Amino acid sequence: MNSSVITFPGSNCDRDMDVALKKFGFKNKMVWHDDLELPKSDFVVLPGGFSYGDYLRCGSMASKSKIMKSVYNFAKGGGKVMGICNGFQILVEAGLLPGVLLRNKYLEFICKNIFVKVNNKDNSFFKDIKKNTLELHIAHNEGNYFCSKEQIEEINDNNQIALFYSDKSGNVNKENNPNGSINNIAGIFNKEKNILGMMPHPERMIDPALSGEDGSIFFENLINNLR
Amino acid sequence: MVVNEQIAIDHGLKKNEYKKICDLLERVPNITELGIFSAMWNEHCSYKSSRFHLKNLPTKGKNVIQGPGENAGVIDIGDEDAIVFKIESHNHPSFIEPYQGAATGVGGIMRDIFTMGARPIANLNSIHFGSPQNKKTKNLLRGVVRGIGGYGNCMGVPTIAGQTSFDESYNGNILVNAMTLGLVKKDKIFYSKAAGLGKPVIYVGSKTGRDGIHGASMASASFDDKIEEKKPTVQVGDPFTEKLLLEACLELMAGDSIIAIQDMGAAGLTSSSIEMASKGNLGIEINLNMVPCRESKMTPYEIMLSESQERMLIVLESGKEDLAKKIFDKWNLDFAVIGKTTKSKKIELYFDKAKVADIPINILVENSPMYERKWKKSKLPKKLKNKKEQFKNLKIINVLNKVLSNPNVCSKEWIWQQYDHTVMGDTIQKPGGDAGVVRIHGTSKAVAASVDSSAVYCWAHPLSGGKQIVCESWRNLISVGAKPIAITNCLNFGSPENQENMGEFVECVQGLGEASLYLDFPVVSGNVSFYNQTKDIGIKPTPTIGGVGLILNYKNMVTMDLKETENILLVIGKTEGHLDQSIFSRDVLNEKNGPPPEINLFNEKNNGETILKLIDSKFIKAAHDVSMGGIITALSKMCIKGKKGATLKKSNYLINQFEYLFGEDQGRYIIEINKDSLQDVAQILSENSVHFDELGTVSDDNLIIDDKSKVSIDDLIKSHTTWLTNYMNK
């Protein structure tokens, strides 16, 4: 299973993602933002970080990088693409996913463990995951997902919500919304469900010595589904 | 502009220092040269008041690869690995402009670390604010926390531990001390010593602007009513550029092109070029027209004194310019050959084809002033007689709740949740424990780090206080199962020209030196920050210690959260009930006098080493050092972390219950062990002559102190966690 992680200037979770993908059996390549062509890939990841310093708007400048044309074509051709945190922001800016990510409600960076409820398992990212909630980790300043009323209807109609912020037992409510996201949305798909963007970092939860292990469940399941 | 004495004084130089400059040069300096002298000879860069005393600190040890004198200290952690670390202050800029001041403090210390070839793997910070009631405190705290997060988060380096305190002595002068640890291979450490003649001198990173001019001089003066006017001396940080600079430098360092490298920190191009030349016993020639500038018409004076951030100076092997340029082009950073090394042993600057400065390096460095300032010795205050009748009206649980919600004891989660503490995927102990711990990527090793200071103890008796912080740092590392290796110090004091403040400095340093020598815990790097005062009033003496220790197998790391019901709790070390200067005395009894707790270095070392033995033998399930707030505060924190209760044994101690529970005697820990191992543990402790008491057992849900005193863990959590959040959101 060949994966590619794109490094933009200012990416800082690219190595962590590389470590995670390799741990679960991917043959991963790091791809420089200035390259024109993706190497042969079954899976492309836009990692977290502060691409271009988050200047202008998070993800905005990275979405215009040279490599993004190739990523765009790969995604539009049905290729599996995932954006984590800043990668999610880039996917949104590139027009591959609907909506925008605003500053967190309390205008503070948040770094902590959270729970997410898996909303849609009918896709290669979450198919066969037995748990209904996962404990993952967030670390962001702009994770407050927002979109128009029409868009949210469309997202709901197409079952595009991947993850909701929730409590441990999967209750989705205001108390468990860390950043003010509309409807507690933590991650979404495109209509075809081959593109996933999410704020939580599964790559930080792949070892019992770290914050937790639910990231391992995610990656193990992912590589099995992509095979 | 013709330089005269008044202009020199306006630059922060003293009359006699100006005279010395003229004598050494045998002429009057021009304005650029005067600027260079003022930058090199201010307190911040020259250590003119502190050098005399710092030389007595123990700086050597079998694990020390590099002690003070370089950009940072370096220690050996086995195999091919070394840790580079240092702490530095950014106090004055942070008070003037909290966000940028704190952000560039973090940026500056990280640059010191990767200048030596190390990739930063952990950040820590120690921040001190005025009283919570002071109207500036909240905004300063918010700004500083955002600044630290804004920079560190963007760099992708986890902030793994820290310390925050509030005290009215910081009302007009907050402290922001930032520490970074970096990882490097032992044979790939880079130094700042230039070598070889005619080697190209390269400027890389951001462009030079007019920000931060005279920053270092500002940091060497006291605040007065006109601090607002000093805002332009605060640098502006760009963490994105620093992230690129980090990656570009490490890429260049992978090869063999670099002879010497120095970051442009305090006093920018001036101190970096002079330091490299001085260490190499060479001269340096720079064409200032080649320096990439952000603004037009910058003068040689401004270029030399700018403290624009994210810049580096490199002496390169001849012929490697193209290769190096390619790397910096890839990362979109400025790259310019601005000069060369010479045999003149002078710094020679050219601008518009004219020579604008010509100063022998040794005049600037070796001949810089050094003062043996007058200082006043502190007496050990008399121990106060506790008025037992004062205790009669106190209820233990009320006092405990008050202590746990004290601003200096309460949970600082509101702060560290704003710092990315998990990026890089190796943080195995997060903020909120005794020490932060990160794994050495891809190995079974981990390093633990902690920052500590005890300004109240240092204020009450500097010599004891100086010893105490080193011991506290040592205990924090031991508590997570790390073998303490070395420390870095950030010495924050008032004016060295004030005999009392200077006395505090001298005796704190003495205490610090004694403890670090005894514990074989040498000082490998550090920084002195004087003039932390507003008008004539100095802050409480606040030496901050950053300690680093090694855990050989990270799976043996210990945390403080209570693990299992019915396990036994022991207090290691003797409890005598010292209340003077304790949080109980100061905040509950409102008694600010008396001596700080005594330090017994033998017990510190013996207790700590014995705990490590117990950890190695896997007897310890949880451990926590006993510090501010005494046994019951320490135990409460263990309960809170583990969401477990504890039941204390019926007391058989002779001292008063408040003295026993809240006394701040040193050299103590609380450990949790399995009840089946009590006999073995007791035997090891006795064999090593370590005093211990049985404190009680782990239970569910409640902390039960005696028949009358019981509190639920939920209530303890509430007391501990709400103060700061409420304060900040009010």
pLDDT tens column, B469-493:
999 999 999 999 999 999 999 999 9
Q: How far apart are CA B99 and CA B215, in angstroms?
A: 16
Reported pTM: 0.96
| Euclidean distance between CA atoms B313 and B277, whole angstroms | 11
Stretch among A105-109, B545-549, B648-652 having the lowest mean pLDDT: B648-652
DSSP 8-state class, residue B492: E
Q: What is the pLDDT of residue B235?
A: 81
Q: Smallest Cβ distance to A111: which of B421, B425, B439? A: B421
State whether A20 and B425 contact (CB < 8 Å). yes
User: Cβ(B234)–Cβ(B93) under 8 Å?
Assistant: yes
Distance CA A140, CA B154 (A): 10
Query: Strand, helix or coil at A76?
Result: helix
Tell me the mean pLDDT in the region B694-719.
95
A-B CB pairs within 8 A amount to 88
Q: Hunting for tokens 């001596």 — which residue is that?
A: B595
Q: What is the pLDDT of residues A117-153, one digit of tens each?
A: 999 999 999 999 999 999 999 999 999 999 999 999 9
Tens digits of per-residue pLDDT, B383-412? 988 777 888 889 999 999 999 999 999 999
Sequential DSSP letters for B526-577: EEEE---EETTEEPPPEEEEEEEEEESSGGG---SS---TT-EEEEES----
| pLDDT score, position B537 | 87
Cβ atoms of residues A109 and B153 within 8 Å: yes
End-to-end CA distance of chain A: 7
pLDDT for B219: 58
The pLDDT, as a whole number, for residue B88 is 96
How far, in Å, CA of B430 to CA of B416, rounded? 9
What whole-number percentage of chain B has pLDDT above 90?
91
Nearest CA-CA distance, residue B423 and chain A, Å = 7
Share of chain A above pLDDT 90, in %: 97
Give residue B216's pLDDT.
58
Is B386 an interface residue toward A (CB < 8 Å)?
no
User: Which class for A175: exposed (0-12), middle (13-18), buried (19 or more C-beta within 10 A)?
Assistant: exposed
By annotation, the residues of A acting in catalysis are: 85, 201, 203
Please state, in angstroms and rounded to a whole number, the distance separating the CA atoms of residues A35 and B356. Answer: 45
Pinpoint the alpha helices (H) of B436-539: 455-460, 462-479, 499-518
- Chain B residue with CA closest to A19: the answer is B425
pLDDT tens-digit series, residues B151-189: 999 999 999 999 999 999 999 999 999 999 999 999 999
Can B53 be counted among the known catalytic residues? no
Which of B420, B426, B556 to substitute to test the interface with A, most A CBs within 10 Å? Answer: B420
Q: Choose, out of B110, B423, B444, the residue to mutate when testing the contact with A (most A CBs < 10 Å).
A: B423
pLDDT at B328 over 90: yes
Contacts of B146 in chain A (CB under 8 A): 108-109
* Chain A interface includes B239 (CB < 8 A): yes
Q: Which of B155, B331, B417 sits opposite A111 (nearest CB)?
A: B417
CB contact under 8 A, B238 and A49: no
- Mean pLDDT value across residues B628-640: 98
Residue-averaged pLDDT of chain B: 95
Residue A19 CA to residue A219 CA, distance in Å, equals: 11
What confidence score (pLDDT) does residue B236 get? 85
Q: Which of A12, A30, A34 to mutate to test the interface with B (most CBs of B within 10 A)?
A: A12
Tens of pLDDT, residues A10-42: 999 999 999 999 999 999 999 999 999 999 999
- Cβ contacts of A48 on chain B, cutoff 8 Å: 423
Of B240, B330, B418, the CB nearest to A53: B240
pLDDT tens-digit profile of B237-267?
999 999 999 999 999 999 999 999 999 988 8
Nearest CA in chain A to B429: A210
The residue behind tokens 């390799």 is: A22
Note whether B574 and B655 are within 8 A (CB). no
Q: What are phi and psi of A185, to 5 degrees?
A: -70, 125
Give the residue from chain A lying closest to B420, CA to CA.
Answer: A111
Q: Is the pLDDT of residue B1 over 80?
A: no
ipTM of the complex: 0.96
Rounded average pLDDT over B59-66: 96
Place of tokens 């949880």: B622
Interface of A with B in 196-225 (CB under 8 A): 201, 203-204, 206-207, 209-211
> In this complex, which of A15, A48, A50 lies closest to B240 when CB atoms are compared?
A50
Residue B251, both tokens: 């890429």
Cβ–Cβ of B417/A110 closer than 8 Å?
A: yes
Residues B96-116 have pLDDT tens digits of 999 999 999 999 999 999 999
Name B28's bridge partners.
none
pLDDT score for B564: 97
Tell me, what's the pLDDT at A188?
98
Q: Which residue out of B44, B92, B128, B720 is catalytically annotated? A: B44
pLDDT of A173 over the 60 cut: yes
Q: Are B562 and B641 in contact (CB under 8 A)?
A: yes
User: Rounded to an integer, what distance in angstroms lies between the CA atom of residue B551 and that of residue B555?
Assistant: 9
Identify all chain A residues contacting B238, using CB atoms and an 8 Å cutoff: 53
Section B679-685 average pLDDT: 97
CB pair distance less than 8 Å for B423 and A16:
yes
CB B232 within 8 A of CB B211: yes
Mean pLDDT across B267-279: 94
Q: Which residue has the tokens 């949305």?
A: A185
Q: Name chain B contacts of A203, Cβ cutoff 8 Å.
A: 425
**pLDDT at site B728:** 95
pLDDT digits (tens, 9 = 90+) for B191-242: 999 999 999 999 999 999 988 787 656 555 666 656 566 666 678 899 999 9
Do strands B73-76 and B64-66 pair parallel, antiparallel, or not at all (unpaired)?
A: antiparallel
Token couple for B353: 């084809």
Are A116 and A156 within 8 A, CB to CB? Answer: no
* B422 in A contact zone (CB under 8 Å): yes
CA distance A63 to chain B (A): 17
Interface of A with B in 180-199 (CB under 8 A): none
φ and ψ of B556, to 5 deg: -90, 5
Of A92-106, B39-53, B617-631, B643-657, the least confident: B643-657
Which A residues 134-153 touch B at CB under 8 Å? 137, 139, 141
| Whole-number pLDDT of residue B231 | 61
DSSP string, B368-415: S--------PPPPPPPPPP-HHHHHT--HHHHHHHHHTSTTTS--HHH
CB contact under 8 A, B241 and A53: yes
Model pLDDT for residues B507-527, shown as the tens digit of each residue: 999 999 999 999 999 999 999
Non-local CB neighbours of B329 within 8 Å, separated by 6+ positions: B335
A190 beta partners: none
pLDDT given at position B229: 63
**Average confidence score pLDDT of chain A:** 96
- Answer whether B428 sits within 8 Å of A210, measured CB to CB: yes
Contact check, Cβ <8 Å, A210/B425: yes
The partner residue sitting opposite A50, judged by closest CB among B154, B424, B426, is B154
Instruction: Give yes or no for A15 touching B (CB within 8 A).
Output: yes
**Is B421 a catalytic site residue?**
no
- Evaluate whether B313 touches B367 at the Cβ level (below 8 Å): no
